Structure 1
Amino acid sequence: MAPTAREGQDLTDALVILDPERTDLVRELDDIFTGWGRAAGAREIIPPPIYPVSDLEKFDVYTNFPHLNLVAAALDLEGGHGKPSDGRFAGAGLLDARLGLPHATCYGAYLFHERRQLAGDTLVTLVNRCFRNEASYGGLNRLMSFQMREIVALGSFDHTQQVLAEFTDRILRFAEALGLPLTKTAATDPFFEEGGARALLQRLSPVKFELQYGDLAIASVNTHRNFFGERCDITLPGSGEHAYTSCVAFGLERWLSVLEDSHDGDPQRALEHVRTVAATGF
C-alpha cells in the first residue's frame, strides 16, 4: 500500500488556481475531448463533486484505495468550538464523515445508471473534480484536487472494447500531432479484491493501460468487465445480465503541464498549437 500524506504536510504544491491563460488551455482541451465523445454518440451528464460514503463504498474504494481517500464532515457545533485552530479542525470538533470525495470521475456514470436497464449500448461523458491524498505532490503533475474528463461505455463487452480501441487510437494520433509522442503502458488498478477471481484475471489480462508522456500518465483506458454493472445493478436489455463497462480518462491538468513545458512555459503558444491541430480533424 502506498504511504499516506504525512500529518502537517506542506500543501503548497497540492492545490493550484489556474490563471486565465492556463484556464483557456484547459477549457480548450476539455472541449476537444468532450467533442470526441459527443461525435461518438455520448450524452453528457453532470455529477456532484462529492458522494455519500455509502455510494463510494460499493466500489471497494475504502478497501482497495484507503490511502487515496479524503472524506468530509460537518462541524460539531454543540461538542466543538466551530472554529479552526492552527489551520485545522480536530476530529473531536467534527460530526461523522458521511461524505466522500471521489478519486475518479467515472463513478458518477455508474451511480447515474444504478438499478436501471440500459436501452442498448450506451456512451456518456462527464467531467469532475477528483481528490487524492498523495504521499507527496508535484504541482500540475500530481495534485490533491484536479479535473478528469471521462468517456464511459456501458453495455455489451464488445461495445466497451470497441470504444477503448477507437479512443486509444485517436488519443495517440492527436498527441503525436501535438509533438507529444505517448507510450501505451500496462498498469494495474485494484478495482477487485486481492486474491479473488477478478484480481487473477486482471493479472493475466491487463485491464488498465496508461498513455504516458515520458513517465507521466496523461490519459488512461480501462476495462472493468461487469464489476460496476454488478455493484450498481445495471442490466442489459433482453437478457437482464449485468452490463459491462469501460472508460477513457483524461487528466486535464497533466495535459496542460506537458503542453506548457513543450512550448517553453507559454500556455498561449500551446493553446494556438492545440487549436491548429484540432482544426485538422482530430
Structure 2
Amino acid sequence: MTATLSTAQGGALTILGPDQTDLLRDLDRTITGWAAEAGAREIMPPPVYPLSDLEKFDVYANFPHLQFVGGPLDVTGAPPAPVGGAFASRDVDPPFLGLPHSSCYGAYLYFEQQAVAPDTTITLINRCFRNETKYEGLRRLLSFQMREIVAIGTFEHTQDVIARFTDRIERFAKELGLELHKEAASDPFFERDSGRALLQRLSPVKHEFQADGLAIASVNTHRNFFGERCAITVEGTGEHAFTGCVAFGLERWLAVLGDRFGGDLQEARAAVNAAAVNAAPA
C-alpha cells in the first residue's frame, strides 16, 4: 500500500487547493460558531498520542485494522534508507506513538483525573488517520480533519447537546439542498463483548448523517465509558461523567458539496455562508 500513496489531487493524502481550503475554513467557522453558541470553549490537541493513552479506549482491541502507529528510526548503525517507499521493520525502533482515528479522544485525555461542571462543553479539531481498504478522493482519505463538539457531565447534558446539534445539522443540510439520511451505526468506543455492547445493540448510541451514501457527520452517546476510563467525575456528585460528541468530517463535506454544486466551489462557499445564517434557530 505504501508505494501507491499519493498527495496529488484525488490521492489518499490529498493536498487541498486554495478554493477547497477556503470552503473548508468557512465550514469550520460555521460549526465552531454553533459550538460557541452552545457555550463550548476550544482546546488544541496534538496530532499523535502515546500508545498507552489510546490503549485505554480499546482502539487496538476493537479496531486494530484502522490504526497507524509510529516510532523513531534506528540510527545506531548506518543511516537507514527507504526502499520502494518504505523502511524495513529492522530500521524502526518499537512504535510508541498512536495516530488517532477520531478527534474526541483529546477531550477525555485533557480532563483525565479531573472533576468537571455537569454541563461542560468543548470543541476541538484534529487530524484523523484511518487504514482503509481503499481510498476515494475526498470521500475517504488516509488523513482528514474532524471537528468535534464534546459534551461532558450529566447524561441529560449530553443528550441536550446531541439533540441541539442534530437539529442544526438537519437545518443546515436542508438549506444547502443536501438530502440527509440519519442511520443507526456501530459505535467504536465500547467493548465488543461487554454489557455496554449489548445495550448498544438494543438501543443504538451512534447515528450517522449520510449524504449520497457517505457519512459526513455523526452524533454519539458514550454513556460513562470515557468518564470511567479517564477517571473524569462530575462536580458535586463524584460520579463518573457521561460524555457525548458531535463529529464532522470536513473533507467529506467538501466532497458532497462539490457534487451538489457541480464542482463550483465559489458557489458552494456562498451557499454555506448563506445557509449558516438561514439555518440559525429562531
TM class, shorter-chain normalised?
over 0.9
In structure 2, relative to structure 1, the CA distance for the partners of 1:8 and 1:18 (3 Å cut) is closer
SS in 2 for 1:85: coil
Counterpart pick for 2:84 among 83, 86, 99: 86
The runs of 5 or more residues in structure 1 that have no matched partner are: 1-6
SS of equivalent to 1:67: helix
TM-score, normalization by structure 2: 0.95
Map of 1:47 onto structure 2: 45
User: What is residue 164 of structure 2 aligned with on the other side?
Assistant: 166
CA distance in 1, matches of 2:258, 2:86: 34
SS at match of 1:211: strand
Give CA-to-partner distance per residue, 1:151-177, whole Å, 9 cap, x none: 000000000011101100110010011
Report the AA paired with residue 267 of structure 2: R
Contact 2:171 2:279 in 1 (8 A): no
**Could you tell me which residue of structure 2 aligns to residue 10 of structure 1?**
4
Cross-structure match for 1:257: 255
Match of 1:56 among 54, 57, 61: 54
CA distance in 2, matches of 1:250, 1:59: 21
Normalised by the size of structure 1, how large is the TM-score? 0.95
1:19 maps to 17
SS in 2 for 1:279: helix
2:278 counterpart (259, 273, 280): 280
Distance in 1 separating the partners of 2:204 and 2:17: 38
Partner residue in 2 for 1:235: 233
Question: For 1:220-271, what per-residue CA distance to the aligned partner results, in whole angstroms no more than 9, with x for missing partners?
Answer: 0000000000000000112211000000000000101111111111111100
Where 2:235 maps in the other structure, the secondary structure is: coil
Query: Does the alignment pair 1:199 with 2:193?
Result: no
**What is the number of residues matched between the two proteins?**
276
8 Å Cα contact 1:80/1:92 also seen in 2: no
The answer to whether the Cα contact below 8 Å between 1:80 and 1:93 also exists between their aligned partners in 2 is: no
Counterpart in 1 of 2:104? 106
Residue 3 of structure 1 corresponds to: none
* Match of residue 4 from structure 1: none
Report the Cα distance in structure 1 between the residues aligned to 2:272 and 2:38, rounded to whole angstroms.
Answer: 21
Preserved CA contact (<8 Å) 2:175 2:279? no
Large movers: runs of 4+ above 4 Å? none
The answer to whether the 8 A contact 2:3-2:86 is kept is: no
Partners of 1:194 and 1:211 lie apart in 2 by 23
Opposite residue 188 of structure 2, the aligned amino acid is P
Who is 1:68 aligned against? Answer: 66
RMSD: 1.2
Shift of 1:128: 0.4
Distance 2:102 2:2 in 1: 25
CA separation in 2, counterparts of 1:78 and 1:199?
46
Task: Name 2:268's counterpart in structure 1.
Answer: 270
Note if contact 1:124-1:151 (Cα within 8 Å) is conserved in structure 2: yes
Q: Tell me the percent identity.
A: 62
How far the C-alpha of 1:183 sits from its partner, in A, is: 1.0
